[in-house]
Structure 1
Amino acid sequence: MMGALDGYVAVITGASSGVGAASARHILREGGRVVAGARRVERIRELLDGLDGWTAVEWDVRESAHAERAIATAVAEYGKIDGLIASAGIGMYGGILDHTDDELQEMLATNIAGTVWPVRSAVRAMRERGNGGDVVIISSVAGLRGRGNEAVYAATKHAQVGLGGGLDKELHREGIRVSTLCPGGIATEFAMGAGRTETSPELSVMMSADEVAAQVLWTITAPANMRTLIHSFRGLGEED
């Protein structure tokens, strides 16, 4: 039975949990091939066990050399790269003075540099092949407006929105579609121990990682002549 993504090769950051892991499963079930990267590479193998067509790579998105290695793995294993899903990210809730310098540096590096380095490596490979491709950046509604007690996190997400908008203007005439997805709350391990706990009441009205991954799938399977610039969405029960 043919899948919607037969022959499609995706590289995914942050694939050891949440939207990254869910996106990998959705793409594989539609016949695609996946290079799944994260620092917890053994966790990727556990989550994708039983599915065919994937390769797991250890990947710290803060390191540009890791991005080059992951993209090279995709080309070596599957001959090309059709899509990058930039899903890696961390968040912390709290006021501007509530975190250490090191904690904020890690969030800035993971969410901003950790998006830029994979995009650069993926675009280079797409240009060399000359057949277009998809860049999907998983940002947040926080990237569209700031909120109290997450100002630095929101700043990193605004940076992703700005990156995506600029890249769209830079790349769409080459057939490279750049989409920035801005979901609301997602019930994952995101920010656990950094302002969120497993009993946080807001989790009950948030979307699941699979629901967000379905939007990733919708984006990359859109008609070839259609590009999605910014797509924002949230669960029915979640307040603005």
Structure 2
Amino acid sequence: MAYVAPTRPIEGTVSVITGASAGIGAAAARALVAAGGRVALAARRQERLQGLVEELGADNAVAVAGDVRDPAHNDALVAAAVEKWGRLDIVVANAGIGAYGGILDLDDDLLREMVETNYLGTVWTVKSGVRQFRAQGGGGDVVIVSSVAGYRGGADEAVYAGTKHAQVGLGGSLDRELRAEGIRVSLICPAATSTEFAIGAGRTEGSPQLDEYLSPDDVAHTIRICLEQPRSVRTTSWQLWSTQQQS
């Protein structure tokens, strides 16, 4: 008899995804909808979000524009998912920004925005999702899109790496806190990915180097695999690199 892996289907699940207007977030939305899921999408760019909703179909997606640094925005995102589909199964905390440069090279406003978006934005997104998981019962999945920078850092990304290190600590601690309730917390930690990330702040649009990086679809595929694992399995952290990148 052929072995059939006891995967957990995405079909019928409801997810919220932050940072969904482009890059990894948009790719994750497409991957989950392709697998039969429904998605509530958040980002600051309303026009792009609406374009993605039109692409995915109004029955499969809803958009809530706003800033993850605002706890009320995250509550509104979860509420939109529950209002439209009656429940929440998955939280993908993906929103983030970055810039390359030494500790004295980046201005204070950018550094503050980076720290608040990457770390506090993740905290508020997860908090809103966990509140809903507890209200409805039955557990759920939290996926935090972090970075290999959270483990190794780099000479020109200290503050960014610090925010990703904070996400790694948050995710591991939350998984230990919440697993008895059936809530899994998984860290997806990609190396450099060919997105709009840091374009004009250390990366150049159209650079041939981007072709050597992971693609957003690579990361979205990893998110889907992680979510499809049976409930008996937890992936606390998954680092991934393209075949052309140095680890």
| TM exceeding 0.5 | yes
2:53–2:62 contact (8 Å) kept in structure 1: no
Establish whether residue 137 from structure 1 lines up as the match of residue 156 from structure 2: no
Q: How does 1:58-207 map to 2 (within 5 A)?
A: 58-207=65-214
CA root-mean-square deviation: 1.2
The 4+ residue runs of structure 1 with deviation greater than 6 A are: none
Partner of 1:23: 28
Residue number in structure 1 paired with 2:4? none
Superposed CA deviations along residues 54-110 of structure 1, whole A, max 9, x for unmatched, are 001112000001011111111111111100001100010001100111010000010
- Partner secondary structure for residue 137 of structure 1: strand
**Structure-1 residue corresponding to 2:231:** 224
2:15 to 1, 10, 15: 10
Which segment is superposed worse, 104-113 or 200-209?
A: 200-209
Q: Number of paired residues? A: 238
Distance 1:109 1:236 in 2: 32
Q: Is the 8 A contact 2:49 2:65 kept in 1?
A: no
1:209 aligns with 2:212: no
Unaligned runs of 5+ in 2: 1-7
Counterpart of 2:55 in structure 1 is 50
Give distance in 2, aligned partners of 1:50 and 1:141.
31
> Among the aligned pairs, what percent are the same residue?
53
* Residue aligned with 1:102, SS: helix
Looking at structure 2, the residues matched to 21 and 50 of structure 1 have their Cα atoms a distance apart, in angstroms, of 11
Separation in structure 2 between the aligned mates of residue 203 and residue 164 of structure 1, nearest angstrom: 28
Q: CA deviation at 1:44?
A: 1.6
Q: Deviations over 1:154-190 (max 9, x none)?
A: 0000000000000000001100000001111100000
Give TM-score, length-normalised by structure 1: 0.97
Q: Give the TM-score taking structure 2 as reference length.
A: 0.94
Structure 1 unpaired stretches of 5+: none
The one-letter code sitting in structure 1 at the alignment partner of 2:24 is: V
Q: Which residue identity is paired with 2:21?
A: S
User: Which whole-Å CA distance do the structure 2 matches of 1:152 and 1:187 have between them?
Assistant: 21
